C-alpha cells in the first residue's frame, strides 16, 4: 500500500510508531518513515501498518490509491 505523510498535520503523539516500526520521528517529533525522509512510500499491507495509519488522530498519515 502507498502511504503518504502530511508533516504539517502531525502533532507528534507517537501512536504510529507505537503500532508500526515503519515509522520514526525527526528531532522535533514530527513523523517520518523509519528508513527514508521521503513523504511517500510503499509499505507492506500488514495489520500493524494499517493500524498505525488509521490511528493517527490528525490524519497526518494517508493511504493513497
Q: Alpha carbon of 18 to those of 57, 65: distances in Å? A: 13, 25
What is the structure's pLDDT at 34?
Answer: 97
- pLDDT confidence of residue 63: 97
Which pLDDT tens digit goes with each residue over 12-34? 999 999 999 999 999 999 999 99
Reading the block at residue 35, the C-alpha cell is 528508513
- Over the stretch 44-58, which tens digit does the pLDDT of each residue have? 999 999 999 999 999
> In the structure grid, which three cell numbers stand for residue 34, read together?
523509519
pLDDT of 65 strictly over 90 = no
Domains of the chain: 2-63 (3.30.70.20)
E runs forming strands in the chain: 2-5, 23-25, 31-33, 40-42, 61-64
Amino acid at each position: 500500500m502507498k502511504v503518504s505523510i502530511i508533516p504539517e498535520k502531525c502533532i507528534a503523539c507517537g501512536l504510529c510508531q507505537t503500532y508500526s516500526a515503519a515509522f520514526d520521528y525527526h528531532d522535533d517529533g514530527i513523523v517520518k518513515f523509519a528508513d527514508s525522509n521521503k513523504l511517500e512510500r510503499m509499505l507492506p499491507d500488514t495489520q500493524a501498518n494499517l493500524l498505525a495509519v488509521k490511528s493517527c488522530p490528525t490524519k497526518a498519515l494517508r493511504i493513497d490509491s
